Structure 1
Amino acid sequence: MQDRLKWTQSALVRILRPAVRLALAMGLKHAQLEEILRDLLLEEARHLWRSQGIPDPNLSQISVTTGLNRKDVTARVRQVRDPLPATEGSSAAKAFTAWLQLAAEEPSRRRLPIVDTGHGPSFELVARLATRGDVHHRTLLEELQRLNLVRGLTGDGEGEVELVGDGFIPATSLRDMLAFTGDNVRDHLLAAVSNTLGQQPRMLERSVYASGLTVSECERIHQLAREHWDSVHYRLVREMAQAHASAAGMGTARMRVGVYVYHEDEPPDVKPTTRAGSARRRKKT
């Protein structure tokens, strides 16, 4: 039991270090991080008891599970509104992804007329189909332009818009980038935690890694991963769109599939964990 606690603490140091780095970069202090941790302890403790058949755990049960005193538990029984947007339901992301899929099948369609004339694809048509007409296409276009993901054309191309990026990456909006960071990292960790706890079904969660490489070789392999992801990405978008349509509004499950690459130049005093050119695979399935 003692070993398990030490192992878990060590794993949490690795998991939380990037989160602490982000927190410090954004100006958060110990008191704010402590508040976040306490609120999460309460939420997850309730989730744990409910998964064990206790729908409404009492204060004593929550206190024993979390180690928080009853007074602190009572003071924190509240719902906190999340100020970040939910990435799953973004109408702008849906419209952008639908347009990206169209352009993958026919590259000339990276450029579209804004208004639907009834003669071929247009941004208005793509937006209407992607959001089922729930959001006006001009509103979506303004949002995508704000995020620098599309640009309006002038001169001979007046009345047309063009895709700028190859993925919905709102790099100019800190709020949106934090939302995607939170959701993507959350689901990656949920997959790893689910596998570690032996839950079913086993989730796909793998990586290959090596050290003792040059930075230029890391970046070359990084670009290779990007190229392979592009082809997989378009197929996954198509499969998910078809699955959503076939569910006809009756589906209750959500899914996120992702990929990541991270590399850094290690300090000279850090010894390589593998010899140059070697690689290992971490497999969770």
Structure 2
Amino acid sequence: MKESHDDALPDAQKLQQPLARLLRPLVRLFIRCGATFPAICDLLRELYVNVAVHDFALPDKEQTDSRISLLTGIHRKEVRRLREAGAPVRMTPASVSRTTQIVALWLADRRFADESGAPAPLRRAGAEGKGPTFEELVEDVTKDLRPRAVLDEWLDRRIVVLDAKGRVVLTEAAIAPNRGDDRQLHYFGRNLHDHIAAAVENVTANPAPFLERAVHYEGLSDEAARRLEALSRKLAMEALLAANREAQTLHRSDAGGEWRWNFGVYVYREREPRGDGAPEDQAGEPS
């Protein structure tokens, strides 16, 4: 995103209320995990400078400390110190990337599916039976890892289990990482980033470039909220699996490039005691 003086952009004052709502669950996480206010302030200060330097550069003009200070409100001396410290590096842990690729193939490729299209239990190499093996699945993605090492790691993390026949069975933890799994924190950052980035682009661009919609009802009973949650989980997984199958097909024939794509969904419910008045909306789609 480049610097803009578009009068249609919301002013800073109007951003206060939605920002407070957006940040509240994050602040709750910070406090629970021991991330103190001074530590978060230090991080925000670094990000302000980094974003101003890289995302608000003017063509053919030097990005001076004075200009960064003007954009961010951070003193020039502090700007200089943070710029000299270097920018944070964005990277995906290797273990996260490998696991994601292998699981994605297992979910998408019909060679590794049962008759219903679900991920099939995979026999080990040399075991009785027909069809592809777990070793073939891993080697289809990477030749740099021994399939036995992948299996041992996945068994320890409960990404897979062995059934009564000794076959490797994919678990729910493969799709929804457990607490403490490195993948959970990786996707926490990446998926929230992409959702917020899409919403920001929709607020700042005309026409809005990304699909970012939700169906929401308020004033529901606990039973109704749970039924809608179960339905939305089912519909969401069907959509994700269909998109993953198409992505795997395209990925195999694609020449490659610099673009990335993310298709995500979320489902949420909470108890929200009613106020004196009626809920603001009974259903709707955020713009």
2-side partners of 1:167 and 1:208: how far apart? 27
Query: Which residue number corresponds to residue 3 of structure 2?
Result: none
- Percent of aligned pairs sharing the same letter: 28
Looking at structure 2, the residues matched to 225 and 92 of structure 1 have their Cα atoms a distance apart, in angstroms, of 26
- For residues 99 and 55 of structure 2, the distance between their equivalents in structure 1, rounded to whole angstroms, comes to 35
For the residue of structure 2 that corresponds to 1:229, the secondary structure is: helix
Matched, 1:10 2:10: no
Number of the residue aligned with 2:4: none
The 5 Å alignment of 1:217-236 reads 217-236=224-243
Q: Which residue of 2 aligns with 1:281?
A: 285
1:141 aligns with 2:155: no
Equivalent pair of 1:91/1:135 in contact (CA under 8 Å): no
CA displacement at 1:171 relative to structure 2: 0.9
- Cα gap change, 1:228/1:107 in structure 2, threshold over 3 Å: closer, same or farther? same
Return the offset for 1:56: 5.3
Aligned partner of 1:98 among 105, 108, 132: 105
Q: For residues 78-227 of structure 1, what are the structure 2 equivalents within 5 Å? A: 78-79=85-86, 85-86=92-93, 90-101=97-108, 102-103=112-113, 106=116, 110-115=120-125, 119-129=130-140, 131-154=141-164, 157-158=165-166, 160-165=167-172, 168-198=175-205, 202-227=209-234
Could you tell me whether the CA contact under 8 Å between 2:52 and 2:72 is conserved in 1? yes
Q: CA deviation at 1:189?
A: 0.3
> Structure 2 CA distance, aligned partners of 1:88 and 1:258?
21
Give per-residue Cα distances to partners, 1:169-214, cap 9 Å, x unaligned: 2214254322211111110000000111106771110011121001
Aligned amino acid, residue 152 of structure 2: E
What displacement does 1:43 show? 1.4
Which whole-Å CA distance do the structure 2 matches of 1:169 and 1:55 have between them? Answer: 46
Distance 1:191 1:104 in 2: 36
Alignment counterpart, residue 61 of structure 1, candidates 53, 67, 70? 67
Structure 1 SS opposite 2:113: helix
Q: Residue 215 and residue 145 in structure 1: after superposition, are their counterparts in 2 closer, same or farther (change >3 A)? A: same
Contact residue 153 and residue 162 of structure 1 kept, 8 A: yes
Change (3 A) 1:37 1:109: closer
Q: Which residue of structure 2 lines up, in the alignment, with residue 263 of structure 1?
A: 269
Question: Hey, what's the Cα distance between the residues in 1 that align with 2:119 and 2:189?
Answer: 32
Q: Is the 8 A contact 1:210 1:279 kept in 2?
A: yes
Q: 1:252 aligns with which of 252, 258, 264?
A: 258
CA RMSD of aligned residues (A): 2.9
With structure 1 as the length reference, what TM-score do the two structures score? 0.85
Q: 1:174 to 1:92 in 2, by over 3 A?
A: closer
Higher share in strand: 1
The alignment partner of 1:280 has SS state of: coil
Contact 2:158 2:173 in 1 (8 A): no
Shift of 1:215: 1.6
Q: CA deviation at 1:53?
A: 2.1
* Partners of 1:105 and 1:65 in 2: CA distance: 58
Q: Secondary structure at the match of 1:237?
A: helix
Quick one: distance in 1 between partners of 2:76 and 2:254?
45
* Mean Cα deviation higher: 222-231 or 197-206: 197-206
> In the superposition, relative to structure 1, how do residues 175 and 81 fare at CA in structure 2: closer, same or farther (>3 Å)?
farther
Letter in 2 for 1:190: A
Unmatched 5+ stretches in structure 2: 1-6
Partner of 2:33: 26
Residue equivalent to 1:74:
80
- SS state of the match for residue 13, structure 1? helix
1:44 matched to 2:40: no
SS of structure 1 residue aligned to 2:11: helix
Q: Structure 1 pair 30/172, CA: closer, same or farther in 2 (3 Å)?
A: closer
